[in-house]
A = this chain, B = another copy of it.
Amino acid sequence: MEDRPKATRNGRAAAKAKQVEAELIAVVVSVNDGEPAVLTIGQGDCLPSGPFALEHRSLQSGLRAWVEQQTGHPLGYIEQLYTFADGDRADDGRQQRVISISYLALTRKEHATGASSCAWRSWYDYFPWEDHRLGTPKLIADVLKPRLLAWAADAEQNATRSERRRRAAIAFAFEDRSWNEELALKRYELLYEAGLMAEATRDRRSVASDSTAGTAMIADHRRILATGLARLRSKIKYRPVVFELMPPAFTLLQLQRTVEALAGRLINKPNFRRLIEQQELVEETGKMSLDTGGRPAKLYQFRRAVLDETAVAGTKLPLARG
C-alpha cells in the first residue's frame, strides 16, 4: 500500500499546474441604534479583502490584518462562512485560479476608524426587500413579485414555469406563505437568476434590466454579504452571538432592537424578556439607564460564563412566526 498519500505526492510533483491564489473576504457587521451595518470600502460596493500570504500565521490572522489595514478596524469574533472558486475571474484569459475564503465578523462601530476610505452601510441598502420590521416592504409587491412571475412565465417548459413560481412563492412568501428571514441567500440567488440584480445583467453582458433592486457590489461581494446575513439570522437563534454586537452594558430593549435589526422582523417583547432571563444569558449591572424616554430600565451585561455552558444548551431567541 505504498501509494497511500498518492494525491498529495502527485500534487507536489506537478505542483506548478496546481498553484492558486487564496483571497480572504470579510463581512464585518455591527448594529447601531437599531440599524444593521456592514463595513465596506471603495464606494460602498466592495467588502474588505486581500490575498492570503506567507506572512500570515493563519487564515484568520490574515483576514484580521487585511481588514485592519484597509479599514483601521480591529476585529473580535470571526467565523468562517464559505469557500468558493472561480467566480468570474477565470474568463480574463489568464490560467490562474482564485479561491475565495469568506468570513463573518461581529463587532461594534465605536472604534473611530481614522480617515480610511471605508464606510458603514446599512444591510438594507443592498437588500431592501429583507427589512420587514415595518411590515412587508412595498418593493416586493410593486416590483419583485411581478418581475419574478414574469420570469417564471418566460420559461419554455411547463415544469420549469411551475417550479420557478413555487421557488419564488417559498422565498418571498407569496400565496399566503409565511416570511422566513433565514432564506436571505435563496432570495438573492433567485433574484440574480431572474435578472433582477445588476450583477447578473453585468455578468451575462446582457442588456441591463429596466428594474434592479438594491445597491450592487463588485464581483460576487453582494452574494457573500447575503451569505453572511443568512448565516447570522440563523445563528442568533441558537448561539448567543448577538452579544458580540452589544456594548458592555445595555437594556433589554436595546438587545431586542439589535436582534430585530438582524432578523429584519419584530419580536414580542414580554416573550423576548422571558426567554433571555430564563436562559440566564445576562446579569444585572445594578445600574439604570435614564435615557429611555419612559421609565428607567435596568442595565444588563452578558454572562461570559455561558460561552462555555451554552455549548450544551443551545440558545434560542423567539422570532415570532408569521
Contact = CB atoms under 8 A, between A and B. Distances in A.
Given A19-B19, A170-B308, A4 B43 contact: yes
Contacts of A83: 59, 80, 83, 101
A175 B84 CA distance: 43
A312 B183 contact: yes
B50 A10 contact: yes
A93 interface: no
A319 interface: no
A315 interface: no
A185 to B, nearest CB: 11
Contacts of A166: 308
A179 to B, nearest CB: 10
Q: Place the interface of chain A in its size category.
A: 35 or more
Given A6-B70, A7-B23, A22-B85, 15 more contacts: A4-B42, A4-B43, A7-B50, A7-B70, A8-B49, A8-B51, A10-B50, A11-B21, A12-B21, A18-B51, A19-B19, A58-B86, A59-B84, A170-B312, A178-B312
A7 to B, nearest CB: 4
Interface in A150-198: 166-167, 170, 177-178, 180, 183, 186
Contacts of A18: 21-22, 51-54
A206 interface: no
Interface of A: 1, 3-8, 10-12, 15, 17-23, 41-43, 45-46, 48-54, 57-59, 66, 70, 80, 82-86, 95-97, 99, 101, 117, 166-167, 170, 177-178, 180, 183, 186, 218, 308-309, 311-312
A17 B50 CA distance: 13
A8 B1 CA distance: 43
B183 A311 contact: yes
A46 B18 CA distance: 21
Copies in the complex: 2
Contact of A20 (B21, B41, B96): B21
B49 A7 contact: yes
Contacts of A84: 59
Contacts of A19: 19-21
A83 B50 CA distance: 17
Contacts of A170: 308-309, 311-312
8 contacts: A4-B45, A8-B50, A10-B51, A15-B96, A20-B20, A59-B85, A166-B308, A183-B311
A303 to B, nearest CB: 15
Contacts of A70: 6-7
Contacts of A101: 83, 99
